[in-house]
């Protein structure tokens, strides 16, 4: 029976917010929810709705606090900590929707980008998910209503994809592989000791920004089989099998989404690579096989780091999505040159290591109703400043987003190198513009333009921009002075 | 003069909702509107605004009731009826905006998909319209701010489209024809006895999800001529015709949008096919003519049904839209295999017959703030179930939507065959994955994968999935036991 | 420290709106803001938030007044004036966000289209900006997170764009030039007497409908350098320059965004055209240079006006954006034929002159919840009319938007010719359909169709539509009778 709202939420909400004028931050939310619980005329459903309203009001309030001008009189250090918490470009553990231990592994899904901030609407259709499978396990057949680009961050396995025919592919650390929307697939971790870790970028196909998984065999701690959504008499006709057998088969509890496999089963599921691909019917031939990003010629490489890139015009699997995949390995104590992407939006996942992220962001500090530099400029005239200093502490599992045009840099901690996989959305025709190092944009300008732009004699500008002779990876910030991650 | 809001609606709304705590569902809405009417300080405009606020509040409330968790303790039968009412994927008579008898026919437009549910935002830009013209009638010249793909569901006529030159084309039942956005067109029903029925898919070009019709000759029960939106002195200059003559010409009442035509007029408008197309200047030659879907080689055919498909890479008219058109004829008492589309969203219109529709839907049951299977999984852990059982009773004029990846099936009643025309949006590279019948996806998996997935000896899985030997159309559910449409 | 909302805005808002029942329009907003200011418990931040709420409430209220049914009993003249004010398709001075005098010039940015009306959501990602640089000035290096198509409306300059290498190009009145998203560029006005005026269309790349500018050298009245968003120790490492020198360099105040340049500097920055392009690495060769629209063969030309068009399939720079650029010069006292674009949305900027704009618009008059002609039709049945008469007075700097399918016309005042540059979004495959003049759509219909459509003998229809023998530009409305701009 449908629930009824006997006491209007809006009314209650107003009472609540009026009542909490003096309450401090966290108690406020608690009290709101408490009010929901003690409403005797509410049934369970209404109480849940009421609590959701508290959450929404609170979230909205926090967002307004965050987006609209905060006062910047506070000391720089304090402020930066604040922003590290609040900026919508860095995602930590609490921004994953599920941290689900599923039997022999773990699957985590990052929240919708637009749930975090409207500023991320440009990548609304993309989602990130991270899968970890224990040694010697099988991840059961599933299809997604999303295009998938996956990157193997650790371990080795075999992935099988069903199209008109079946194709099986060995994958190992550094491999990139595309699974088309709707194609059922399953995979094994064939290593007996190491976890298999896979980072997935999903582009949703049915509801913008939402995706679902569908499994023919469900049960256990994973969702039921999708077959059970059909009526039994329809299934009887479809399978020509009597209902009792069907029920027994589809309703039995399974072992789970990620399950232990015997050595023999692993061996059996590993054997296909040599046999199947010859008859693999994917249209574009070789390009549809996984490719190893780390075996490409690095586009940047010195002792401070290495950068590997796969652009969609070279790799058939990425072509229709217009997504590039890159992998950066920053040596301990080193950094990337400050730079920006001309049109790509970067979604980066820290695979391992520790370090920091810095970005210049004019959007973030501008008020919501207006945009562009003109509102910035007004702030400037009022003595407020223009670019928000976005900061993020990087460690394994952190995700960060860099919009097009936004200058940013990444550095590794003094003691750990930093490994990052990046998905670059809208990558066709993208250019990396360097802001320091020997190919920086200022060096490419005419002397007179530099002089006029910086209102400084050309020689002096030159001295500033020609000192650093490395191209992309440099020795990192001097981390004796500061604690490195706040740098 | 612009109206003023003297008493704020928000305030009134609060009073209203507070006052209706004890009211039951329908009375609540009535009382809200009643409150609007008795506000003496309101002028007419304000009363209308007030009533609109009631509607919006009520709609929002209903949507929340629908989307957020309902209790599933009720018996299965009850629940299914409930869902038949509430699910946002099936559209019946009341979901059409107009059921307009216009002179010699009827034009109905389905509501915006996103007006129904945010879950349909992926097809927001598409609309459906159904036109019926009486025998021997003329549908007057019109242009739309939308791309149109039309399917002739019944009868025969001649359609004339104006591009640089004029082209006229005979059409009959089963024909598919593309009318480019903005191109003026008119058509006749040239049969003296049978209605001409046309199903249109529109892709909007100026405002997302909204389209308009524009007619040079208006009046009667249809909108005025668009010429009358210009000032008379501008028209005088444009036409070099004095104002009095212009007024007389453009302001006279016309006969309507669909009007009777004499046998002679019909004959005159039917004659062009043989003459015009030779000089028809549409760029892509033959492909731009109507093609008959029912004359294509059926991609599925046995005694239980036939399926015809036209994919955009084969038919020039569909190419830029990426829309496929399909026609399914399910024999009485038969069914389609449960299956899903890998990336296409299907918009299906029942042309004739009776039957039922079933779909597995994880989106529908998940709460709005969260998504993905992980919320599902939590529900599962709490003993709630994962896939919503979407059900629809199919009869002539019903529209249903199947998102990408969602398993579904359709069956005909024991006494009537079922004819459905389907528009498949985002059709490039789409694959149909079968879930039962000889080519089902489980049969394509390795034996070990089936065994592990279903946690059942391979032989048993094989017995389940190899029993049905037909490919796509099967004998339908055993409809003796159940009333067929609830099946 | 983050601010706290001690008195909830919502509550205050209600108090405010209740208190202002008797207040008239403008005083109402003033009083709302006054209420914000006198709240003693508010800190500055809260006061600003409060005032913003007033603005938002007021804007929402105005929009509702505008969009929802107004009463049409008023006289036609009154009503038209009203619409000239309220229609969302014409943008005047007050719809620009900034009118910023920046040193030696002025940069103005038109508000977001969707800030004006949801009806413009189809062009949400596009923005318009107008730049004027005084004689002998330099506009400092900047990059945008947007694709830019610029049209030189007046003067002559040299633009330098940085990609892998640097390219410099002389531009003059009539030139169209594409600057890719993210590419840093700078330019000079090299004329010693005339202003350089540039009209830009921007397509945003990072946040839909929002763009930002990024400058390596900031200070003065323009935003700070984006380098200052990085921490000093990161910059020390990136530049290998000690912090004190960096601070001095990046924090010094600059001269501004548009600054005076000496004759020698101008000469130096003008010289590159001859040298650089030979090594210019843009991929598509010649097409990437600016082209002069006014030197194309005019697609319409007689003594009443001339029309120049550049379609994206001919000009490589426009190809990936699908944007056409057109320039219309309407002779004084002349007009364009009423016509419409089949699928393109037109964004037009008046470069010079005076005149008027008329458009037929069914969207505008329909209520927001419903759409399509069927709501129109209901209005018709109630004696309300269907097409809104959109009117705009055109003068230098006015911007107007014409959605696909919407009939419109433009005319010049009796004393001034009218120059308009038009950006046409979604231009691939667009067709202009003429509604008067010798090629009008009615003349292309069969005699019987015209007769049936207009319910008038064919001869009479012919007399109406064949009188005007010009094709596109005609003598304008008889402007003795009316004041011309109301025509």
Q: Comparing C-alpha atoms, which of C348, C471, C365 is closest to residue C91?
A: C348
Per-residue model confidence as pLDDT tens digits over B71-90: 323 333 334 444 445 689 99
Asked if residue C236 has pLDDT above 60, the reply is yes
Residue C74 at interface with chain B, using a CB cutoff of 8 Å = yes
Q: Which residue has the higher pLDDT, C347 or C459?
A: C347
Beta carbons of B403 and A231 less than 8 Å apart: no
Judge residue B24's burial from the number of C-beta atoms within 10 Å of its C-beta, 0-12 exposed, 13-18 middle, 19 or more buried. exposed
Per-residue model confidence as pLDDT tens digits over A319-368: 999 999 999 999 999 999 999 999 999 999 999 999 999 999 886 543 33
Average pLDDT over residues B302-321: 93
Q: Which residues of chain A have pLDDT under 50?
A: 1-26, 64-84, 274-287, 365-385, 480-487
Residue A336 at interface with chain C, using a CB cutoff of 8 Å = no
Contact C426, B227 (CB under 8 A): no
Q: Which residue has the higher pLDDT, B32 or C181?
A: C181
Rg of chain C's alpha carbons, rounded to an integer?
A: 26
Rg of chain B's alpha carbons, rounded to an integer?
A: 26
Asked if residue B461 has pLDDT above 50, the reply is yes
Judge residue A69's burial from the number of C-beta atoms within 10 Å of its C-beta, 0-12 exposed, 13-18 middle, 19 or more buried. middle
Distance CA A62, CA A82 (A): 13
- Which contacts qualify for A304-311: CB closer than 8 Å, 24 or more apart? A304/A330, A304/A331, A304/A334, A304/A335, A304/A470, A304/A473, A304/A474, A304/A475, A304/A476, A305/A329, A305/A330, A305/A331, A305/A334, A305/A336, A305/A412, A305/A472, A305/A473, A306/A473, A307/A336, A307/A472, A307/A473, A310/A176, A311/A427
Please give the residue of chain B at the shortest CA–CA distance from A186.
B449
Residue C252 at interface with chain A, using a CB cutoff of 8 Å = yes
Among B42-51, B156-165, C224-233, C349-358, the least confident range = B42-51
Distance CA B266, CA B156 (A): 12
Q: For B278-301, give the DSSP string.
A: GG---TTGGGGS-EEGGGSPPSEE
Mapping DSSP to helix (H, G, I), strand (E, B) and coil, where does residue B461 land? helix
What confidence score (pLDDT) does residue C46 get?
61
Phi, psi of A157 (to 5 degrees): -155, -175
Distance CA A316, CA A294 (A): 17
Q: How far apart are the first and last CA of chain A?
A: 57
Where residue C296 falls (left for φ over 0; alpha for ψ -120 to 50; beta otherwise) is beta
What confidence score (pLDDT) does residue A22 get?
30
Q: How far is C161 from chain A (nearest CA, A)?
A: 9
Q: For B85-117, give the DSSP string.
A: HH-TTEE-GGGEEEEEE-SSEEEEEEPPHHHH-
Q: For C132-151, give the DSSP string.
A: EE-SSEEEEEEEESEEEEEE
Neighbour tally for A157: CB within 10 Å: 24
Residue C76 at interface with chain B, using a CB cutoff of 8 Å = no
Contact B339, B329 (CB under 8 A): no
Distance CA C142, CA C425 (A): 25
CA dihedral (A457, A461, A463, A469) in degrees, to 10, reads: -160
Specify the residue for token string 């049209």. Answer: C151
What confidence score (pLDDT) does residue C362 get?
82
Rg of chain A's alpha carbons, rounded to an integer?
A: 26
Where residue C367 falls (left for φ over 0; alpha for ψ -120 to 50; beta otherwise) is beta
Neighbour tally for C104: CB within 10 Å: 22
Contact B151, B422 (CB under 8 A): no
Structure tokens at B177: 């024809």
pTM of the prediction? 0.81
Q: Which residues in chain A are closer than 8 Å to C216, comparing Cβ atoms?
A: 435, 441-442, 453
**What stretch of H or E contains B337?**
none
Phi, psi of B444 (to 5 degrees): -85, -10
Beta carbons of C377 and B100 less than 8 Å apart: yes
Q: Comparing C-alpha atoms, which of A161, A97, A88 is closest to residue A121?
A: A88
Contact B104, B133 (CB under 8 A): yes
Contact C88, C116 (CB under 8 A): yes
Asked if residue B292 has pLDDT above 60, the reply is yes
Q: Which residues in chain B are closer than 8 Å to A144, comparing Cβ atoms?
A: 405
What confidence score (pLDDT) does residue B316 get?
87
Mapping DSSP to helix (H, G, I), strand (E, B) and coil, where does residue B77 land? helix
Distance CA B178, CA B310 (A): 13
**Could you give the ipTM of this predicted complex?**
0.79
Distance CA C293, CA C279 (A): 25
CA distances in angstroms from C459 to A294, B137, B227, C29, C131, listed in the order given: 77, 22, 19, 59, 53
Asked if residue C20 has pLDDT above 90, the reply is no
Mapping DSSP to helix (H, G, I), strand (E, B) and coil, where does residue C30 land? helix
Asked if residue B100 has pLDDT above 80, the reply is no
* A residues 420..449 contacting C (CB < 8 A): 426, 429, 431, 433, 435-437, 441-442, 444-446, 448-449
Query: Cα–chain-centroid distance for residue C29?
Result: 28
**What stretch of H or E contains A400?**
strand A399-402
Average pLDDT over residues C226-231: 93
Asked if residue B356 has pLDDT above 50, the reply is yes
Contact A179, A145 (CB under 8 A): no
Q: How far apart are the first and last CA of chain C?
A: 58
Distance CA B30, CA B35 (A): 9
Structure tokens at C174: 């009539």
Distance CA B70, CA B92 (A): 23
Asked if residue B276 has pLDDT above 90, the reply is no
Of B2, B8, B181, which has the smallest distance from its Cβ to C17's Cβ? B8
Beta carbons of C234 and A452 less than 8 Å apart: no
Beta carbons of A107 and B374 less than 8 Å apart: yes
Beta carbons of C239 and A465 less than 8 Å apart: yes
Beta carbons of A362 and C223 less than 8 Å apart: yes
Per-residue model confidence as pLDDT tens digits over B184-219: 999 999 999 999 999 999 999 989 999 999 999 875
Of B112, B222, B234, which has the smallest distance from its Cβ to C377's Cβ? B222
């Amino acid at each position: 029976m449908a629930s009824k709202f006997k006491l209007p939420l809006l009314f209650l909400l107003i009472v609540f917010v009026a009542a909490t004028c003096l309450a401090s931050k966290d108690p406020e939310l608690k009290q709101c929810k408490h009010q929901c619980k003690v409403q005797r005329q509410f049934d369970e459903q209404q109480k849940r709705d009421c609590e959701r309203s508290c959450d929404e009001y609170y979230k909205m309030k926090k967002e307004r606090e965050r987006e609209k001008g905060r006062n910047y009189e506070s000391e720089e250090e304090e402020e930066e900590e604040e922003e590290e918490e609040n900026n919508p470009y860095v995602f930590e553990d609490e921004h994953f929707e599920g941290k689900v231990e599923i039997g022999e592994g773990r699957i985590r899904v990052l929240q919708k980008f637009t749930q975090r901030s409207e500023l991320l609407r440009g990548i609304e259709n993309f989602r990130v998910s991270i899968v970890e499978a224990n040694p010697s396990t099988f991840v059961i057949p599933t299809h997604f209503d999303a295009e998938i680009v996956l990157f193997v961050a650790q371990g080795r396995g075999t992935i099988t994809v069903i199209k008109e025919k079946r194709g099986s592919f060995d994958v190992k650390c550094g491999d990139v592989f595309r699974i088309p929307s709707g194609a059922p697939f399953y995979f094994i971790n064939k290593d007996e000791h190491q976890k298999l870790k896979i980072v997935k970028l999903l582009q949703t196909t049915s509801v913008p920004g939402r995706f679902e998984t569908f499994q023919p065999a469900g049960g256990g701690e994973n969702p039921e089989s999708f077959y059970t959504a059909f009526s039994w008499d329809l299934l009887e006709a479809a399978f020509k099998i009597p209902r009792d057998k069907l029920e027994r088969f589809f309703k039995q509890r399974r072992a789970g989404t990620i399950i232990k496999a015997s050595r023999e089963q692993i061996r059996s599921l590993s054997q296909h690579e040599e046999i199947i691909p010859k008859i693999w019917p994917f249209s574009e031939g070789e390009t549809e096989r996984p490719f190893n990003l780390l075996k490409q010629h690095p586009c940047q490489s010195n002792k401070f780091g290495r950068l590997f890139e796969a652009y969609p015009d070279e790799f058939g699997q990425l072509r229709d999505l217009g997504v590039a995949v890159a992998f950066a390995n920053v040596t301990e104590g080193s950094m990337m040159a400050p730079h920006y992407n001309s049109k790509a939006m970067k979604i980066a996942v820290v695979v391992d290591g520790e370090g920091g992220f810095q970005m210049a962001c004019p959007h973030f500090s501008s008020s919501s109703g207006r945009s562009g530099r003109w509102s910035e400029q007004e702030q400037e005239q009022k003595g407020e400043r223009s670019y928000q200093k976005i900061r993020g502490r990087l460690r394994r599992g952190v995700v960060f987003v860099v919009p097009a045009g936004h200058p940013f840099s990444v550095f590794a901690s003094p003691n750990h190198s930093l490994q990052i996989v990046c998905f670059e959305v809208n990558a066709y025709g993208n250019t990396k513009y360097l802001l320091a190092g020997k190919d920086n944009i200022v060096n490419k300008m005419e002397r007179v333009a530099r002089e006029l732009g910086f209102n400084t004699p050309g020689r002096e500008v030159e001295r500033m921009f020609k000192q650093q002779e490395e191209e992309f990876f440099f020795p990192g910030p001097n981390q004796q002075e500061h604690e490195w991650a706040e740098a």
